[in-house]
Structures are given as structure tokens and as C-alpha cells.
């Protein structure tokens, strides 16, 4: 399955990119995270939430093959 | 006054006082309104570890943010008897002293606008994926976190 | 920012959106401010017994009213950590859709402005001797009472 | 003692004037009120508060010889 990953703010500083598409065989968000932790040094120590299809999800959520975003703490307003 | 599709809440750069004044002016034809309440977020020149914030550079997960703004709007119209509601948020660089958030609610009665405005502003702070890079005068930066 | 002597809060006629926009503009040099909250009272074209309100003609016991505005101001500065506070109220004729009350509070933090603004507006409604004659389209009138 | 009386809004409609000075021998607000009720027809049925020296007072307050105002219901804002 191919997912589009989006990175924002200080997460994008760690990944050095704002977006990428990757082919994965993982089925849970927690598994995707393990993959990203091994790919991006320093990501694990960062504070972020995860959104799939524009809604926040938990580590136990199943990946549904859409857009997944790593969101650092909100600072609106 | 409900919208079915998310509007774009974002504006490039600061929100000007002229824009706000004009927005107030446009409501003077709506003679069922008795009370307006306006919240403005302004960038503070905070001092952090001896350095002063010169500006905040805002970015957002725009699709999700506009969806969240839309949800907040729908939910506020459901909870409160509002005549109008407008929300604008800056993207890009906003200097200290400039305005980055403009929330405007109107209702026949005053009690309603106080409750509604606070509800909306707190929801924006908590639920909308907007990110702020505090840029210091020496061009170093620190990521802002809402409390 | 405390005043020792009562200022004159009253303005002849409606408060314009330009005046409000300009007042916001003037606060952009105060870079310790993070949040503004503005209340605007607007004259409603209420229908009462089949007649529509065209305007409110405001009068006041001006000396006492300015003293009360001053007391409200002092008490708000004591209760809340405010950077600025401004109050303007119309006298004379204000047409439906026009603005008759403008209250503007600013603080480093948002929680403070919500509480302070509601406190000030409720105190104005309850304690300040201002009288409003609702003038109908046929020039008959009815005296307004705050609830 | 001479007091300045001020009338506002619908009270001024009853008294047909906004201000007057009167010589009184009364010492309590309640006594002054009786005098005004007999002078102004319809005043007794009106809803108002009384201020002396810009502060609200009760019927039992002593008249201190200053400005006394009859204030109909407030309608600010």
C-alpha cells in the first residue's frame, strides 16, 4: 500500500522534507511509527500527534491507505 | 448563515485594522444584531532566554485546519443563537504587534456572544493544526506551543 | 495605565467602524499584548407592538455616569491583569444598525480578556445612569430598560 | 436648605423639566419624595432610583444638601 506522509513544523525540520510517498506493508499506525523512527534520527524524542484523513488517530488505529500527517503541538492564534 | 463546505480561513500575512474595521462596517445593515464580540490575537514580543521575538511565521496543515474551522463553526451555530460568525487566521510572517487571529461573532443578545466567542477561540487553540515559529531578532527560532 | 480622574466616555452620535479600526491600529505598538477582546453594542430594529425601532436617543446623568465608568475601570484594573482598557458610549441619536457602545480590553493573555470584558460590560449595563429612548419609525417612542 | 433636583428620561417627561432648585425643610429622602409626589402627578407610579452626590441612596438616607437625581431604569449599551 502507498501512503502519503506529511510533516509540519519541527517534525519537518527532523525529516528535512514536508511530504513523501512510501510503500508500506504495515497495517497499524504504531507499526508505521516504528518504521519512521528508524528512518529519521531524532523523531522519537519529538512531541507530535498523528492525523489520518484529517482526523486525529491513535497508535492502535488501522492504516487506511490515505494521507497521514505528523503534527507537532498546535500554536494557532 | 451555515456553510456546507469549508471556507478558507487563512490570509497571507497579518490581518490589518482596516480589514477589521471594514468587517464591522459591513454588519451595520444587519439590524437584528444587538451585540458583537471580537477576539484578536496579536503577536507578542516575548523575551525568551534573553532574546526577543520579532515575528511568528505561521504554517498550517491547511486542508485539515479549514475542516476543523468548519466543524467549530457548525458546532458554535448549533450551541449558540448567533447571527454571524467570521474567523480569519494568518499564514506566513506576522511581526510583533500585528494581528494573526480575528474571530467575530454577532447575536441579538450579549450573553450569547461572550459564551460563543470564548468557546470558539478555545476550540481554535486546541483543535486546529496551525504551527508557529517564533523568530528572534537574530533570526534564530523556537517553535511555539499553545497552553 | 490607571487614570486618577474620570475621563469623558461619551461621544456625540454613533461610534464609527473607522474609529474602532483606528483604535485597534494604535495598539500595534504595544508588543506586550497577546489578546484583545472588543464588545460592540449595536442598536436593534426591534419590532414592538407592530412598530419598528428606527433609532435610540441616548441621554445620561453625565457626571455620575463618568464617575461610574471610572469606578468600573479602576475595579477592572484591580481584578484583572490588563494592559489597556477603553470605553466609549454614544449620546444623542443612534440609528438601528449603528454602534452605541465600544469596550476594548487588552492583555498579554487571552483568559484574562474574556473575563474582564464580560465583567465590564455587565457593570456598565447595571451601574451607569444612561437612558435610552427607542424612537419608532412614526416618531412615537418607548423608554428602553436593560435586562 | 436648597437642593438641586435633576430629572432624566421618563421622569423628566413627568416633571416637564430636567432640573430645578428647591428650598426644603425635609431631612430624609423619603420626605423629599412625598413632597415631589404631591407636586408631580404620575411620579409615584414611575420606576426610579435616587442618587445623591452621584451615589445611589435609599429612602432612609439623610439629605446632605447637594445634588439629588431621580434616575429611571438604566439602558446603557
Assess if residue D26 is contained within a domain: yes
This complex has an ipTM of: 0.94
Residue C44 in contact with partner chain B when CB distance is under 8 A: yes
D9/C contact by beta carbon, under 8 A: yes
Residue D77 lies in a domain: no
Test mutation, B63, B102, B131, chain A, max A CBs within 10 A: B131
- What pLDDT score does C114 carry? 97
* Chains B and C touching, counted as 3 or more CB pairs less than 8 Å apart: yes
**Closest residue in C to B110 (Cα–Cα):** C41
Report CB contact under 8 Å: A72, B100. Answer: no
Residues of chain A with C-beta less than 8 angstroms from the C-beta of B124: 76-77
Residue ranges of the domains in chain B?
Answer: 10-143
pLDDT at C1: 47
Residue A50 belongs to domain spanning: 2-71
Question: pTM for the full model?
Answer: 0.95
SS3 label, residue A25: coil
For residue A46, tell me if it sits in a domain. yes
With 60 as the cut, is the pLDDT of residue A8 above it?
yes
Element containing residue D23 per DSSP (H, E) = strand D19-23
| B146 has pLDDT over 90 | no
CA distance D49 to B98: 46
Q: How confident is the model at residue C146 (pLDDT cuts 50, 70, 90)?
A: confident
* pLDDT per residue as tens digits for the range C77-134: 999 999 999 999 999 999 999 999 999 999 999 999 999 999 999 999 999 999 999 9
B36 contacts C36? CB cut-off 8 A: no
Position D66 scores a pLDDT of 85
Range from A24-28, B3-7, B29-33 carrying the lowest mean pLDDT: B3-7
pLDDT band at B98 (very low <50, low <70, confident <90, very high): very high
Say which residues have a Cβ less than 8 Å from residue B31's Cβ, sequence separation at least 6.
C43, C44, C45, C96, C97
Determine contact: B124 vs chain A, CB below 8 A: yes
CATH topology of domain B10-143: Aldehyde Oxidoreductase; domain 3 (3.90.1170)
Contact A73 B143 (CB under 8 A): yes
Query: Is the CB of residue C102 less than 8 Å from the CB of residue C20?
Result: yes
Query: Tell me, what's the pLDDT at A65?
Result: 74
CB C51: neighbour CB atoms within 10 A? 15
pLDDT at residue D26, as a whole number: 83
Look at B63 and A9 and tell me if their CB atoms are within 8 Å.
no
What does the alpha-carbon distance between residue B123 and residue B105 come to, in Å, rounded to a whole number? 14
Mean pLDDT across B81-104: 98
Instruction: Locate the chain A residue with the closest alpha carbon to B42.
Output: A77
pLDDT at site B4: 65
Min Cα separation C102/chain B (Å): 10
Tell me the percentage of chain C whose pLDDT exceeds 70. 97
Report the pLDDT value the prediction gives residue B1, as an integer from 0 to 100. 47
Chain C residue nearest residue B23, CA to CA: C17
Residue C147 has pLDDT above 90, yes or no: no
Residue D32 has pLDDT above 80, yes or no: yes
Structural domain includes residue A77 = no
Lowest model confidence (mean pLDDT) among C1-10, C137-146, D53-62: C1-10
Domain count, chain A: 1
In Å, what is the CA distance from C111 to each residue of B124, C80, C124, D40?
Answer: 14, 10, 21, 51
3-state secondary structure of C21: helix
CA–CA separation, A19 and B15 (whole Å): 29
Alpha-carbon gap, residue A14 to B11, rounded angstroms:
27
We report the CATH number of the domain holding residue A16 as: 3.10.20.30
Report CA D47 to chain centroid distance, whole Å.
12
Q: How far is CA C61 from CA C87, C130, D76, in A?
A: 17, 7, 11
Contacts of C106 (CB under 8 A, 6+ apart): B42, C27, C30, C33, C35, C36, C37, C82, C83, C84, C85, C113
Contacts of B118 in chain C (CB under 8 A): 114
Contacts of B66 in chain A (CB under 8 A): none
Amino acid at each position: 500500500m502507498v501512503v502519503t506522509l506529511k510533516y509540519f513544523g519541527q517534525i519537518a525540520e527532523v525529516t528535512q522534507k514536508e511530504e513523501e510517498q512510501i510503500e508500506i506493508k504495515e497495517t497499524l499506525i504504531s507499526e508505521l511509527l516504528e518504521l519512521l523512527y528508524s528512518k529519521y534520527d531524532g523523531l522519537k524524542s519529538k512531541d507530535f500527534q498523528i492525523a489520518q484523513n484529517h482526523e486525529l488517530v491513535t497508535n492502535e488505529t488501522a492504516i487506511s491507505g490515505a494521507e497521514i500527517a505528523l503534527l507537532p503541538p498546535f500554536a494557532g492564534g | 448563515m451555515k456553510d456546507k463546505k469549508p471556507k478558507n480561513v487563512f490570509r497571507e500575512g497579518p490581518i490589518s485594522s482596516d480589514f477589521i474595521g471594514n468587517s464591522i462596517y459591513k454588519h451595520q445593515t444587519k439590524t437584528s444584531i444587538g451585540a458583537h464580540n471580537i477576539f484578536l490575537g496579536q503577536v507578542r514580543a516575548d523575551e525568551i532566554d534573553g532574546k526577543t521575538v520579532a515575528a511568528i511565521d505561521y504554517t498550517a496543515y491547511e486542508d485539515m485546519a479549514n475542516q476543523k474551522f468548519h466543524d467549530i463553526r457548525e458546532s458554535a451555530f448549533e450551541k449558540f443563537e448567533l447571527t454571524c460568525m467570521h474567523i480569519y487566521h494568518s499564514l506566513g510572517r506576522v511581526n510583533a504587534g500585528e494581528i494573526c487571529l480575528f474571530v467575530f461573532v454577532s447575536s441579538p443578545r450579549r450573553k450569547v456572544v461572550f459564551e460563543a466567542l470564548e468557546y470558539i477561540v478555545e476550540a481554535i487553540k486546541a483543535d486546529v493544526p496551525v504551527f508557529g515559529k517564533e523568530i528572534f531578532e537574530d533570526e534564530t527560532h523556537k517553535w511555539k506551543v499553545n497552553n
